[in-house]
Amino acid sequence: MCTSAITSLRQNSGTKITALVVDDDTTIRVIHQRLLKNLGIENQVAKNGQEAVDIHSSGKYFDLIIMDMDMPILNGIEATKKLRAMGIHSMIAGVSSRSMEEEVQEFMEAGLDDYQEKPLTTAKLITILHKFSSA
């Protein structure tokens, strides 16, 4: 199941898929990096929304951004809005432990393509990738 999603992603992009993990929690960053790497996705990290914006300002581009919601300096909602305003068309998936509908709705409206509740698992990541490959 995961192989087909990744194969079609690779066919679309022609190169290896890249991702950016945005989360202020060290433990979670390490787990998310490993989940992505396990599926063959090269990735980098940003410790908050501002770092994610700065990385993009420096000209970097990622196919997928895994965005936390509650972060210091710049939270996931504001960071997503800024990235979209900068013309970043990467797939942005919100991943947070928030489950209240209004909170998720606000995050989605900031410009997310998908939302998954923490903890992120291989199965949830594959769901995100399927949405990406069918977009």
User: Judged by CB under 8 A, which of 2, 8, 31, 131 binds other proteins?
Assistant: 31
Q: Which helix (H) or strand (E) holds 73?
A: none
51 part of the interface to other proteins, by CB under 8 A = no
**Per CB under 8 A, 40 contacts other proteins:** no
Work out whether 47 is an interface residue with other proteins (CB under 8 A): no
Q: Does residue 24 touch other proteins according to CB under 8 A?
A: yes
Closest-CA residue to 95 (of 1, 12, 24): 24
Using the rule CB under 8 A, which residue among 5, 28, 52, 64 binds other proteins?
Answer: 28
Tell me the C-alpha distance between 50 and 79, whole Å: 7
Task: Answer for the pair 86, 49: CB distance below 8 angstroms, yes or no.
Answer: no
- 85: which residues sit within 8 A by CB, 6+ positions away? none
When asked if residue 121 is in the footprint of other proteins (CB under 8 A), the reply is yes
Minimum distance from CB of 82 to other proteins (Å)? Answer: 21
Angle 101-109/76-85 helices, nearest 10 degrees? 20
> Between 27 and 134, whose beta carbon lies closer to other proteins?
27
Contacts with other proteins by CB under 8 A lie at: 24-28, 30-31, 34-35, 38, 70, 96-97, 118-122
